[in-house]
C-alpha cells in the first residue's frame, strides 16, 4: 500500500526543515507501506533531502498563487488530487497539529470516508485498526478505518522520528491542482506576529510563581512577589482558596475556576496540588514544587521538588538570585 | 423565535456536547466502551465554553440572538441550561444517544436542524462549534457540517468580529502569530479556547434560563456510529520527581535550575 | 510512599477537624506515642473540613451540642482563628418568628446573648438585604467564622511540639485487625498502604469515610454521607470594597433553608432545602478520581434552582450585581446520622473508638470531650446522647440511616416540635400486644424502634368524665403531639387503675459467681440484699456524674436482673459489661427480646391482679420493693408464669410484670379484661413518662439526670452510703461532704408550678420543656456552675390541677414558695417553687405506693 503524508515545514535558524511532528508521522507511515509526501508551497532542497532520509519515495509539491496563503480547503484539494493521481494510495496521514487535523477533515469529507485523529498506533490493513488519543490523551480508543482510503492524523510523540535505514532518492514533482474559487472563501488574509508580552500577565508569563494557603495570610506574599521580580517575565498565580480568602485578586487565580497557564516553569509554593488547581497548570513545561509534605500530590507529580517551608526557602532563593546577579 | 429588533442582528447557533468532568484519574465502564461517569459531574469542553462566550458576545454586539444546540440524552439539558444562563436565548436538544453517533452523524444531525430552522424562517449567520469535543477528540464535526451546509469554515478560531456580511476570525498560526480570516456569512467556525475568558453564570441568568423552553427534536435517520471498538487506559506514570533538597539549603540548587531553564533576569 | 511507625499507643485515623483536635487534646492530657494518619495530603486531606462553610451559630435546642459548640468557639478563639461577624436568623413568616421566640428561650437557657430584632435593624448591618422580605430576625452577636484547616494545623503542631505525635499523611487504611479476648474482641493493628501499626488504641475520625473504616473491624458507625449544596457568587462590589474575609453578619434565611455568608468578595449561598442526596461511603471518589476534592461532589444545579431565586429575593442588589457570577458550586459531603447526634466513644471492639458525624462548629469541643473520655472514662461535657453504644441493631442498618436522614435533612433549618415523630422506617419493633393496641386506637410514639402507645383514642370517652380536669390546651403548638386524653388516662389511673405497655425496657441479666461484685461495683445502692428484693439505684461515672438510674432485681444468689429505659439501654448494657471482672466470673446476657413488661398501677391494681392469681398479693404477702414469680390465669384458663415486681414510677400501688414475649399478649388481654369491671383502662406512655412521674417528682435520665449532674444536686441522696466500693464512690463522698459544708451543692433540682398561663393575647400557654427560669421581673439566674436554669421536664399534673416544671435552680433560689418566672415564646409567666427537693407534690407521704 501507499501512504500519502501531508508534510508541514518550518523555517529554523539553519534553514527550512520538515517539522518534527511530520517526521514522526513519516516514521509511522513508513511502517505501513510506501510513503509519498505532499509539500504545500515550496520544497527547498534541505526539505527534500530530509524527506529522502526518511525514505519518502515521491515528493509532490503544490504551489502557485492559491497556496501563497493558508486555506485549508485548497490544501485538501491538493491532497485529494495527490490521492487520485497516485498509485494505490490507500492511506492519507498528517501530523495531529491544528493544521493537519483541519486539512484531513476536509479530505475525509471530500473522499466521503472516516477520519481518525491523533492516532498513536496502527495495526493490520484492510481494514486497518488504529488506536488514537481521546479524553485529552488520558485514554485510547481502538477503531477500524475500513474505507477505501484511511485518513488519519498522528499524535505528537506517538513515535520517535527515525530516518530510514537507507535514504531514498525521490522524484520531486509539481502537483497540478485546480483550486476552485470556493476553496478560497476561508483563507488567511493577513497574519500578525505573536505579540511580545511585557505585561507579565499570568497567561503569557514564562514563569508562574504559584502560591496556595501555605502563604499563610494576605501579608505572606511579599517574598513570592519579590521572586517574580527577580525572574524573567514571571507572574504570581494563586489557588482558589487564596482568592476566596481575599488575600489576592481573582485575576491571579490558576485552576479550574481561574486561568489555565502553560509557562516554561511553574513554581508551586505551598500548594498541595488539588486537582482543581492541577487542571490549570498541569501543562507547564517544568514544574518545581516547594512543599512541607513530600507526599503532596503536587510534589509527586512535579519534575523537581524542594521539601520544606516556603517562608524559609523562597527568601533563600531570592537571596541567592541577588547574590549571583551582583556577583 | 422573534426577529431581532435591529436589522443587523446576527443569529448564532453554538453547538456543545455534554462530557464527563474528569478528575486526575479516570476509570472505564465494565464493557470498556466509555468512561465510568457515575460519580463525575458533567461539563462541556473548554473550546465549547469559549464558543458559547463568542456566540453570546456576537449576539450582544450585533443585537442578535444566540441559540445553543446539543445532541445527547435528556441529561444534556443541564448543559443547555448552563448556556442559557450565560446569555443564549434559545436551546435545541436533539435527543439521542450521543455514544451511537460518529462525527459524520453528529454533523448530519446539526445540518438537519439548521435547514429545518431555515425553512421555518430562522437562518443562522454563524454556526460555532468547539474545535474538538473533549471526550472523542474527533476534530472534524464542524468541517463536515460546513460541507453539508455548503458554507465556508474556519477552524481554530479564538476571537471573531462580524461586520456587514463578513466575519473576521482570528486564530493562532503555527509560528505563534495570529492568522486572520475574512469570510462571507453565513459561515461555520470551530473555536479554540484561549481567545476569550468564558463567563460564569449569574443568578439572574440562571433564573432566566429556567423559564426558556427547550426545543426538543428527534433525530432523523439512523446513525452510522463512530466505529469505536473499545477504550483502553495507558499505564499510570510513576512519580519522576527529582528532589533538589530540603529547607533553605536547597536554594543554590533551585537557582542552578532556574539558570539552566534560562528564566533568571 | 510514606511509611508509618510499626507501633503506637494510639492511632488516630483522620486529619480533619476532629482528628486534629483529638491528637492535640490527647497530647495535652499526657498521652504519648500518638500516630495520626490520613489518606490525603495536609493541611487539607480532602474531607468535609476542607470545604466547610466554617461558620458557627452557637444556639441549638440541644444543650449537649450547644455546650460542645461553645467550647469549640473558646478553643478557636484561643488559637486566633475565630472572626466574630454576628449572625441573623431571619424570619419571612409569623410562624418562623414564633420559632425564633422559642430559640430565644434556648439562648437564655444556655446563657447566649441574643435578641429579636426588626427588619430595619437587620438592614442597618446588612444593607443589601431586602427588608420587605422579612418580618424580623434573631440576632446573635457572637456568631463567627473560623479557619478550621488552620486550626487543625495549629493543633497538630502543638502536639508535635510536645514530641508525642507522629503525623503521616497520604497513607490509606487497608485493614483493622482485632483479637478475641475474654470480654470480646480488642483492636490490635492498623494496616495501611505505608505498613502495619501495632496499636493499643485506635480512633476512627474519618468523617464520611468512617463507616467504611468501621466495617474493617466489623463495627457499625451508622452515618451517611449527604450532600449540602453551596455556591459562591462574586465578585460583589458591595463586598469587595471591604477588607478581609468577612465584614458583614452571616444571614440564615430560615424559611428557605438557606444561608448567605460573605467570603471575601464572594457571597456563599448554602442550602438545606433540596432533596436529601445521599451517597455510600464506598462510592466517594478517590483523591485521584475527584475533580475537586473527594467530598466536593459535582454540583447538581437543578436541585439548587429554587434556592437561587429565594436567595436573590433576599439580596437582589448584591446577588444581581453586574459581574457577580457563580464561580464555584459544589455538592459538599457532610455526615448525617439517624438521630442527628454525633457518633462518639468506644465501640463494641475494645479500644476501638470513633469520633464521627461531627461538624466544624463542634469539632474542637468533641476532640476535647473524647480525649477526656479516653483518658478518664468520662468527659466534662456530658456526651451520652452521642454515645456510639446507644444504637440498637435496627439503627445500625444503613437503610435506617438513609431513611431517617432523608426525612430529617429538611429539618436542618426546619421548625421541629420537641415531640415530633419520625415517619420513616417505623414499626421496627412491635410489642406482643401491638394488635390489641392498634384496635384500641393507640397513638404510637417511637422509642428506639419500639412502637409505644402515647395515649389511646379509645379513652376519648373519659374526656367527658373528667371535663376541665384534663387541662385542655388552647394553642396548637402546645397541643401538637399531645392530647388531653393523656391527662384523662392519668386521672383514671389514679382513680382506678391503668395497664401500661413497657415492652421498650432494656433488660439484661448479670450472672455467675462474680455477679454480686460486678453489680455492687456498678450501682450506688446496696445490692447485697435478699433474693427477691428490688433495688432502685443511680449509676455513676468516675467523677460522680450520672451514667443512668435503673432498677435491679436479685433473682438468685448469683443472678441479678437489670431493667432500664429503652433509650439508653444499650449504653447501660455496655457500661455494665465494662465493669464485669476480667476473669470471666460474671457474664451479662441481654434478655430484652425475650421479655415484655406490663405495668399495672392504681388503687384497684391489687384487686385486678388478685382476680387473676391465687397467690397472696396482699401488702403482707407481696411487700413493696419485692419481686417473685407468680402464675396468672389468662384467656382459656391457661396459666402463665410471670415475674412480678412491686415498684412504681407513677406513685401508685402496683406491679411491673415481666412476661415471656410469647405470652405477653394473653396477659395484656387478661389484665384489661379483669380490670374493666374496676374501671381500669390501658394507659399510654404520656402518663408513665410525664404526668405520673412529675407529680411524684421522679427524675428521669436524659432530662434531670446526666453526666454533669450529681446525686446531691438532684436531691437523691440516701442517709447512708454502702461500704462496698462502686464507680464514683470517692467523688460521691466528696459531694456529700461538700453538701454538709456551708457551700452546699452548686445547684438544686426543684419542682415549680405555673401560677398563671395567660399570655398577652389572652391565650393560655403551656410550656413543653427547655424554657429559661428567670426572676419574676425577667432577670437572669445563675447557679454555682455558672449555668442558667432551664426547664428539664414540663408536664401536666392533672391530679393537682397544675402545670409543673422541673429545673435546677441556684441554691439560694431553691426555697418552697419562691416566686420566679418562666419565659415562654418571649413572654414571662409567674411560677412558684413547689418543691426544693425530691418530695412529691402528689401524695407526699407515699401512702398510695405502700398501700
Chain centroid to Cα A223, Å, comes to 34
Burial of C366 (C-beta count, 10 Å sphere; 0-12/13-18/19+): buried
Q: Which residue has the cell 467556525?
A: B189
What's the 3-state SS for A23-59?
HHHHHHHHCCCEEEEEEECCCCHHHHHHHHHCCCCEE
C195 touches chain A (CB under 8 A): no
B251 falls within a domain: no
* Residue count (chain B): 265
Q: Percentage of chain C with pLDDT > 70?
A: 99
Burial of B250 (C-beta count, 10 Å sphere; 0-12/13-18/19+): buried
Q: C704 and C792 in contact (C-beta within 8 Å)?
A: yes
Q: What is the pLDDT of residue A279?
A: 66
Interface test with chain B among A195, A240, A320, by most B beta carbons within 10 Å: A320
> Running DSSP on this structure, what letter comes out for residue C336?
E
Banded model confidence at residue C117, pLDDT cuts 50, 70, 90: very high
Within 8 A by CB and 6+ apart from A195, the residues are none
CB contact under 8 A, A194 and B251: no
Burial of C651 (C-beta count, 10 Å sphere; 0-12/13-18/19+): buried
pLDDT above 80: residue C674:
yes
CATH number of the domain within which B31 lies:
3.40.50.620
Q: What is the pLDDT of residue C66?
A: 92
Nearest partner of C271 among C307, C247, C306, C219, judged by Cα: C307
CB contact under 8 A, B248 and A141: no
**Residues of chain B with C-beta less than 8 angstroms from the C-beta of C298:** 21, 39-42
CA C151 to CA C364: how far, in whole Å? 9
Q: What is the pLDDT of residue A141?
A: 96
- Looking at the complex, report in whole angstroms how far the Cα of residue C558 sits from the nearest Cα belonging to chain A: 59
CA C20 to CA C157: how far, in whole Å? 9
Q: How far, in Å, are A267, C182, C574, C585 from residue C582 at the CA level?
A: 60, 7, 14, 8
CA C268 to CA C326: how far, in whole Å? 9
Q: Which three cell numbers stand for residue C314?
A: 433576599
**DSSP letter string, B137-196:** --S-HHHHHHHHHT--EEEEEEEEEEETTEEEEEEE-TTSSEEEEEEESSEEEEE-TTSS
B30 falls within a domain: yes
How do beta strands C819-824 and C827-835 pair? antiparallel
Banded model confidence at residue A197, pLDDT cuts 50, 70, 90: very low
**DSSP letter string, C76-134:** HHHHT-EEE--EEEEESSHHHHHHHHHHHHHHHHHT---EEE-HHHHHHH-TTS-GGG-
Q: Which three cell numbers stand for residue A313?
A: 526557602
Q: What is the pLDDT of residue C742?
A: 62
Banded model confidence at residue A14, pLDDT cuts 50, 70, 90: low
CATH architecture of the domain with range C506-591+707-737: 2-Layer Sandwich (3.30)
**Among the partner residues B40, B200, B210, nearest to C327 by beta-carbon distance:** B200
B2 falls within a domain: no
Q: What is the pLDDT of residue B236?
A: 66
Q: What is the pLDDT of residue A216?
A: 72
> Running DSSP on this structure, what letter comes out for residue A147?
S
Q: Which domains does chain A have, with CATH numbers?
A: 2-184 (3.40.50.620), 202-326 (3.40.50.1220)
Banded model confidence at residue A200, pLDDT cuts 50, 70, 90: very low
Q: What is the pLDDT of residue C427?
A: 95
Strand order in the sheet with C654-660: C627-633, C639-645, C654-660, C595-601, C498-501, C681-682
CA B232 to CA B27: how far, in whole Å? 10
Q: What is the pLDDT of residue B24?
A: 61
Range C53-80 average pLDDT: 93
Residue-wise pLDDT for C374-397, tens only, equals 999 999 999 999 999 999 999 999
Phi, psi of C109 (to 5 degrees): -65, -35
C324 touches chain B (CB under 8 A): yes
CA C238 to CA C244: how far, in whole Å? 13
CB contact under 8 A, A194 and B139: no
Q: What is the pLDDT of residue B6?
A: 43
Element spanning C229, H or E: strand C223-234
pLDDT above 50: residue A199:
no
CA B25 to CA B20: how far, in whole Å? 12
CB contact under 8 A, A272 and C235: no
Which residue does chain A place closest to B176, by CA atoms?
A: A194
The chain-wide mean pLDDT, for chain A, equals 88
**Residues of chain A with C-beta less than 8 angstroms from the C-beta of C149:** 213
Range C536-561 average pLDDT: 97
B228 falls within a domain: yes
**Residues of chain A with C-beta less than 8 angstroms from the C-beta of C293:** 274-276
Q: C765 and C803 in contact (C-beta within 8 Å)?
A: no
Three-state secondary-structure class, residue C812: helix
Range A9-31 average pLDDT: 87
- Looking at the complex, report in whole angstroms how far the Cα of residue A231 sits from the nearest Cα belonging to chain B: 4
CA C56 to CA A242: how far, in whole Å? 22
- Looking at the complex, report in whole angstroms how far the Cα of residue A320 sits from the nearest Cα belonging to chain C: 29
CA B136 to CA B141: how far, in whole Å? 11
Which residue does chain B place closest to A192, by CA atoms?
A: B178
What residues does each domain of chain C span? 7-184+224-337, 431-504+594-694, 506-591+707-737
**Among the partner residues C286, C289, C320, nearest to B204 by beta-carbon distance:** C320
Interface test with chain B among C309, C326, C329, C332, by most B beta carbons within 10 Å: C326
How do beta strands A15-18 and C442-447 pair? unpaired
Residue C77 region, left (φ>0) first, then alpha (ψ -120 to 50), else beta? alpha
How many other C-beta atoms are found inside a 10 Å radius of the C-beta of residue C826? 16
Banded model confidence at residue C104, pLDDT cuts 50, 70, 90: very high
Q: Which residues of chain B have pLDDT under 50?
A: 1-6
Burial of C653 (C-beta count, 10 Å sphere; 0-12/13-18/19+): buried
B247 falls within a domain: no
Banded model confidence at residue C743, pLDDT cuts 50, 70, 90: low
**Among the partner residues B102, B227, B232, nearest to A139 by beta-carbon distance:** B232
- Looking at the complex, report in whole angstroms how far the Cα of residue A88 sits from the nearest Cα belonging to chain B: 24
Which residue does chain B place closest to A191, by CA atoms?
A: B179
Interface test with chain C among B19, B27, B38, B41, by most C beta carbons within 10 Å: B41
CB contact under 8 A, B246 and A278: no
Q: What is the pLDDT of residue C484?
A: 98
Q: Which three cell numbers stand for residue C79?
A: 488559637
Which residue does chain A place closest to B26, by CA atoms?
A: A138
Q: C542 and C727 in contact (C-beta within 8 Å)?
A: yes
pLDDT above 70: residue C166:
yes
Residue-wise pLDDT for A235-248, tens only, equals 999 987 777 666 78
- Looking at the complex, report in whole angstroms how far the Cα of residue B107 sits from the nearest Cα belonging to chain A: 11
Q: How far, in Å, are A315, C17, C687 from residue C418 at the CA level?
A: 59, 30, 17
Residues in B 29-88 with any Cβ partner in C closer than 8 A: 38-42, 78, 81-82
Three-state secondary-structure class, residue A175: coil
Residue-wise pLDDT for C572-620, tens only, equals 999 999 999 988 899 999 999 999 999 999 999 999 999 999 999 999 9
B181 falls within a domain: yes
CATH for C431-504+594-694?
3.30.1360.120
Q: What is the pLDDT of residue A276?
A: 60
Let me know if domain C7-184+224-337 sits in CATH 3.30.9.10.
Answer: yes
**Residues of chain A with C-beta less than 8 angstroms from the C-beta of B37:** none
Q: What is the pLDDT of residue C531?
A: 98
C237 touches chain B (CB under 8 A): no
**End-to-end CA, chain A:** 63
Q: Which three cell numbers stand for residue C15?
A: 486529619
The parent domain of residue B230 ranges over 11-239
C299 touches chain B (CB under 8 A): yes
Q: Which three cell numbers stand for residue C218?
A: 466489623
Range C193-212 average pLDDT: 97
How many other C-beta atoms are found inside a 10 Å radius of the C-beta of residue B231? 20
The alpha carbons of chain C give a radius of gyration, in whole angstroms, of: 28
Q: Which three cell numbers stand for residue C687?
A: 402518663
| Residues of C with catalytic roles | 228, 259, 549
Burial of A57 (C-beta count, 10 Å sphere; 0-12/13-18/19+): middle
Burial C379-417 (b: 16+ CB within 10 A, else e): bbbbbbbbbbbbbbeebbbeebbbbbbbebbeeebebee
Q: What is the pLDDT of residue A195?
A: 56
Q: Which three cell numbers stand for residue C39?
A: 489518606
Q: Tell me the β-bridge partners of C749.
A: C808
How many other C-beta atoms are found inside a 10 Å radius of the C-beta of residue C815? 13
pTM as predicted: 0.86
Which residue does chain B place closest to C285, by CA atoms?
A: B39
Residue-wise pLDDT for C402-418, tens only, equals 999 999 888 778 889 99
Q: What is the pLDDT of residue C559?
A: 98
Q: What is the pLDDT of residue A12?
A: 65
CA B36 to CA B29: how far, in whole Å? 5
- Looking at the complex, report in whole angstroms how far the Cα of residue C135 sits from the nearest Cα belonging to chain A: 32
pLDDT above 90: residue C172:
yes
CB contact under 8 A, B144 and A109: yes
Within 8 A by CB and 6+ apart from C310, the residues are C253, C256, C258, C273
Banded model confidence at residue A258, pLDDT cuts 50, 70, 90: low
Banded model confidence at residue C41, pLDDT cuts 50, 70, 90: confident
* ipTM for this model: 0.90
Amino acid at each position: 500500500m501507499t501512504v500519502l503524508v501531508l508534510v508541514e515545514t518550518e523555517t529554523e535558524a539553519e534553514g527550512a526543515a520538515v517539522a518534527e511532528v511530520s517526521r514522526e508521522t513519516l516514521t509511522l507511515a513508513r511502517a505501513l507501506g510506501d510513503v509519498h509526501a505532499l509539500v504545500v508551497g515550496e520544497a527547498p532542497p534541505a526539505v527534500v533531502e530530509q524527506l529522502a532520509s526518511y525514505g519518502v519515495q515521491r515528493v509532490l509539491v503544490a504551489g502557485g498563487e492559491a497556496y501563497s496563503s493558508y486555506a485549508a480547503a485548497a490544501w485538501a484539494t491538493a491532497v485529494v488530487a495527490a490521492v487520485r493521481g497516485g498509485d494505490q494510495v490507500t492511506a492519507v496521514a498528517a501530523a495531529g497539529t491544528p493544521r493537519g487535523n483541519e486539512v484531513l477533515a476536509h479530505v475525509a469529507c471530500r473522499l466521503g470516508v472516516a477520519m481518525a485523529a491523533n492516532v498513536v498506533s496502527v495495526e493490520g490493513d484492510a481494514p486497518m485498526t488504529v488506536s488514537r488519543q481521546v479524553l485529552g490523551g488520558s485514554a485510547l480508543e481502538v477503531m477500524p478505518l475500513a474505507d477505501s482510503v484511511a485518513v488519519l492524523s498522528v499524535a505528537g510523540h506517538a513515535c520517535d522520528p527515525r530516518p530510514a535505514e537507507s535514504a531514498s532518492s525521490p522524484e520531486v514533482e509539481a502537483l497540478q491542482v485546480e483550486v476552485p474559487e470556493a476553496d478560497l472563501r476561508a483563507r488567511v488574509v493577513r497574519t500578525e506576529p505573536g505579540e511580545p508580552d511585557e505585561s507579565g500577565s499570568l497567561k503569557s508569563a514564562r514563569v508562574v510563581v504559584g502560591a496556595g494557603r501555605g502563604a499563610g495570610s494576605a501579608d505572606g506574599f511579599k517574598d513570592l512577589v519579590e521572586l517574580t521580580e527577580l525572574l524573567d517575565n514571571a507572574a504570581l498565580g494563586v489557588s482558589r482558596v487564596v482568592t476566596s480568602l481575599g488575600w489576592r485578586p481573582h485575576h491571579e487565580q490558576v485552576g479550574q475556576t481561574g486561568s489555565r497557564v502553560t509557562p516554561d516553569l511553574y513554581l508551586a509554593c505551598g500548594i498541595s496540588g488539588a486537582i482543581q488547581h492541577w487542571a490549570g497548570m498541569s501543562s507547564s513545561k517544568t514544574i518545581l514544587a516547594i512543599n512541607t509534605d513530600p507526599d503532596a500530590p503536587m510534589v509527586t507529580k512535579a519534575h523537581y521538588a524542594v521539601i520544606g517551608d516556603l517562608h524559609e526557602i523562597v527568601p533563600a532563593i531570592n537571596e541567592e538570585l541577588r547574590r549571583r546577579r551582583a556577583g | 423565535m422573534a426577529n431581532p429588533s435591529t436589522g443587523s442582528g446576527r443569529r448564532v447557533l453554538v453547538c456543545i456536547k455534554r462530557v464527563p468532568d474528569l478528575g486526575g484519574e479516570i476509570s472505564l465502564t465494565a464493557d470498556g466502551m466509555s468512561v465510568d461517569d457515575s460519580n463525575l459531574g458533567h461539563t462541556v469542553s473548554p473550546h465549547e465554553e469559549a464558543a458559547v462566550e463568542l456566540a453570546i458576545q456576537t449576539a450582544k454586539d450585533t443585537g442578535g440572538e444566540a441559540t445553543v444546540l446539543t445532541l445527547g440524552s435528556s441529561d444534556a439539558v443541564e448543559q443547555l441550561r448552563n448556556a442559557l444562563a450565560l446569555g443564549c436565548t434559545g436551546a435545541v436538544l436533539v435527543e439521542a444517544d450521543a455514544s451511537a453517533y460518529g462525527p459524520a452523524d453528529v454533523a448530519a444531525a446539526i445540518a438537519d436542524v439548521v435547514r429545518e430552522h431555515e425553512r421555518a424562517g430562522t437562518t443562522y449567520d454563524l454556526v460555532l462549534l468547539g474545535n474538538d469535543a473533549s471526550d472523542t477528540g474527533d476534530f472534524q464535526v464542524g468541517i463536515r457540517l460546513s460541507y453539508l451546509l455548503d458554507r465556508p469554515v474556519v477552524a481554530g478560531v479564538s476571537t471573531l468580529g462580524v461586520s456587514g456580511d463578513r466575519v473576521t476570525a482570528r486564530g493562532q498560526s503555527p509560528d505563534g502569530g495570529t492568522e486572520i480570516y475574512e469570510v462571507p456569512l453565513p459561515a461555520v467556525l470551530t473555536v479554540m479556547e484561549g481567545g476569550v475568558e468564558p463567563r460564569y453564570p449569574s443568578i439572574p441568568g440562571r433564573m432566566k434560563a429556567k423559564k426558556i423552553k427547550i426545543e426538543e427534536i428527534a433525530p432523523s435517520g439512523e446513525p452510522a456510529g463512530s466505529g469505536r471498538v473499545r477504550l483502553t487506559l495507558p499505564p499510570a506514570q510513576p512519580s519522576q520527581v527529582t528532589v533538589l533538597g530540603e529547607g533553605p539549603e536547597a536554594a543554590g540548587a533551585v537557582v542552578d535550575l532556574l539558570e539552566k531553564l534560562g528564566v533568571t533576569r | 510512599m510514606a511509611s508509618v511507625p510499626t507501633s503506637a499507643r494510639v492511632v488516630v485515623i483522620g486529619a480533619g477537624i476532629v482528628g486534629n483536635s483529638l491528637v492535640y487534646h490527647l497530647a495535652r492530657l499526657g498521652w504519648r506515642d500518638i500516630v495520626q494518619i490520613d489518606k490525603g495530603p495536609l493541611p487539607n486531606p480532602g474531607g468535609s473540613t476542607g470545604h466547610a462553610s466554617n461558620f458557627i451559630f452557637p444556639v441549638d435546642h440541644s444543650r449537649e451540642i450547644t455546650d460542645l459548640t461553645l467550647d469549640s468557639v473558646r478553643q478557636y478563639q484561643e488559637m486566633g482563628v475565630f472572626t466574630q461577624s454576628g449572625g441573623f436568623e431571619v424570619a419571612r413568616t409569623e410562624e418562623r418568628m414564633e420559632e425564633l421566640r422559642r430559640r430565644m428561650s434556648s439562648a437564655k437557657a444556655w446563657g447566649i446573648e441574643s435578641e429579636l430584632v426588626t427588619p430595619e435593624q437587620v438592614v442597618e448591618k446588612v444593607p443589601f438585604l431586602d427588608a420587605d422580605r422579612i418580618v424580623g430576625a434573631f440576632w446573635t452577636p457572637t456568631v463567627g467564622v473560623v479557619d478550621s484547616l488552620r486550626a487543625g494545623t495549629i493543633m497538630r503542631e502543638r502536639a508535635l511540639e510536645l514530641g508525642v505525635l507522629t503525623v503521616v499523611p497520604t497513607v490509606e487504611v487497608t485493614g483493622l485487625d482485632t483479637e478475641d479476648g475474654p470480654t470480646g474482641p480488642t483492636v490490635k493493628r492498623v494496616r495501611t498502604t505505608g505498613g502495619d501499626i501495632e496499636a493499643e488504641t485506635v480512633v476512627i475520625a474519618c468523617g464520611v469515610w468512617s463507616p467504611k473504616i468501621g466495617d474493617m473491624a466489623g463495627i457499625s458507625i451508622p452515618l451517611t454521607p449527604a450532600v449540602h449544596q453551596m455556591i459562591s457568587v462574586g465578585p460583589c462590589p458591595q463586598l469587595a470594597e471591604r477588607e478581609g474575609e468577612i465584614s458583614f453578619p452571616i444571614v440564615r434565611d430560615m424559611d428557605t433553608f438557606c444561608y448567605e455568608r460573605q467570603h471575601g468578595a464572594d457571597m456563599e449561598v448554602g442550602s438545606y432545602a433540596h432533596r436529601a442526596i445521599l451517597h455510600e461511603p464506598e462510592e466517594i471518589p478517590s483523591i485521584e478520581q475527584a475533580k475537586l476534592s473527594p467530598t466536593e461532589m459535582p454540583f447538581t444545579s437543578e436541585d439548587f434552582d429554587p434556592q437561587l431565586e429565594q436567595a436573590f429575593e433576599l439580596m437582589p442588589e448584591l446577588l444581581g450585581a453586574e459581574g457577580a457570577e457563580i464561580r464555584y458550586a459544589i455538592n459538599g459531603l457532610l455526615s448525617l446520622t439517624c438521630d442527628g447526634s454525633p457518633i462518639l466513644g468506644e465501640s463494641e471492639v475494645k479500644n476501638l473508638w470513633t469520633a464521627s458525624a461531627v461538624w466544624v462548629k463542634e469539632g474542637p469541643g468533641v476532640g476535647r470531650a473524647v480525649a477526656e473520655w479516653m483518658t478518664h472514662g468520662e468527659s466534662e461535657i456530658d456526651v451520652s446522647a452521642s454515645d456510639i453504644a446507644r444504637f440498637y441493631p435496627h439503627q445500625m442498618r444503613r437503610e435506617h440511616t438513609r431513611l431517617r436522614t432523608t426525612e430529617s435533612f429538611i429539618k436542618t433549618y426546619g421548625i421541629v416540635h420537641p415531640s415530633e415523630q419520625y415517619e420513616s422506617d417505623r414499626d421496627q419493633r412491635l410489642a406482643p400486644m401491638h394488635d390489641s393496641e392498634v384496635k384500641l386506637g393507640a397513638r404510637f410514639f417511637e422509642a428506639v424502634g419500639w412502637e409505644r402507645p402515647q395515649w389511646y383514642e379509645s379513652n376519648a370517652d373519659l374526656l367527658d368524665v373528667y371535663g376541665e380536669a384534663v387541662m385542655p390546651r388552647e394553642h396548637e403548638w402546645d397541643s401538637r403531639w399531645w392530647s388531653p386524653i393523656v391527662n384523662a388516662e392519668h386521672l383514671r389511673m389514679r382513680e382506678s387503675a391503668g395497664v401500661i405497655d413497657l415492652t421498650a425496657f432494656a433488660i439484661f441479666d448479670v450472672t455467675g459467681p462474680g455477679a454480686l461484685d460486678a453489680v455492687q461495683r456498678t450501682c450506688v445502692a446496696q445490692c447485697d440484699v435478699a433474693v427477691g428484693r428490688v433495688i432502685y439505684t443511680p449509676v455513676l461515672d468516675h467523677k460522680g456524674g450520672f451514667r443512668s438510674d435503673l432498677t435491679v432485681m436479685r433473682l438468685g444468689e448469683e443472678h441479678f436482673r437489670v431493667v432500664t429505659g429503652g433509650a439508653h439501654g444499650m449504653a447501660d448494657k455496655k457500661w455494665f459489661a465494662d465493669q464485669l471482672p476480667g476473669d470471666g466470673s460474671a457474664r451479662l446476657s441481654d434478655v430484652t427480646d425475650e421479655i415484655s413488661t406490663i405495668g399495672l398501677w392504681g388503687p384497684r391494681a391489687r384487686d385486678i391482679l388478685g382476680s387473676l392469681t391465687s397467690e397472696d398479693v396482699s401488702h403482707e404477702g407481696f411487700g413493696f420493693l419485692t419481686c417473685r414469680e407468680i402464675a396468672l390465669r389468662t384467656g382459656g384458663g391457661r396459666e402463665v408464669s410471670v415475674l412480678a415486681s412491686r415498684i412504681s414510677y407513677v406513685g401508685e400501688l402496683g406491679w411491673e410484670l415481666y412476661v415471656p414475649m410469647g405470652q405477653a399478649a394473653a396477659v395484656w388481654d387478661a389484665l384489661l379484661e379483669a380490670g374493666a369491671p374496676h374501671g381500669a383502662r390501658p394507659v399510654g406512655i404520656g402518663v408513665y413518662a410525664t404526668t405520673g412521674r412529675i407529680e411524684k417528682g421522679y427524675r428521669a435520665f436524659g432530662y434531670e439526670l446526666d453526666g454533669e449532674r450529681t446525686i446531691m444536686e438532684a436531691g437523691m441522696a440516701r442517709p447512708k452510703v454502702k461500704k462496698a466500693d462502686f464507680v464514683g464512690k470517692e467523688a460521691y463522698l466528696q459531694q456529700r461532704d461538700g453538701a454538709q459544708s456551708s457551700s452546699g451543692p452548686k445547684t438544686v433540682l426543684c419542682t415549680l408550678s405555673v401560677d398563671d398561663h395567660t399570655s398577652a393575647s389572652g391565650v393560655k400557654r403551656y410550656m413543653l420543656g427547655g424554657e429559661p427560669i428567670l426572676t419574676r421581673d425577667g432577670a437572669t439566674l445563675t447557679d454555682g456552675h455558672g449555668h442558667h436554669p432551664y426547664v428539664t421536664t414540663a408536664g401536666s399534673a392533672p391530679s393537682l390541677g397544675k402545670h409543673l416544671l422541673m429545673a435546677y435552680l441556684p441554691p439560694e433560689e431553691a426555697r418552697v414558695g419562691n416566686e420566679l418566672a418562666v419565659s415562654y415564646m418571649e413572654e414571662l409567666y409567674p411560677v412558684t417553687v413547689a418543691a426544693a427537693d425530691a418530695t412529691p407534690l402528689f401524695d407526699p407521704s407515699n401512702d398510695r405506693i405502700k398501700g
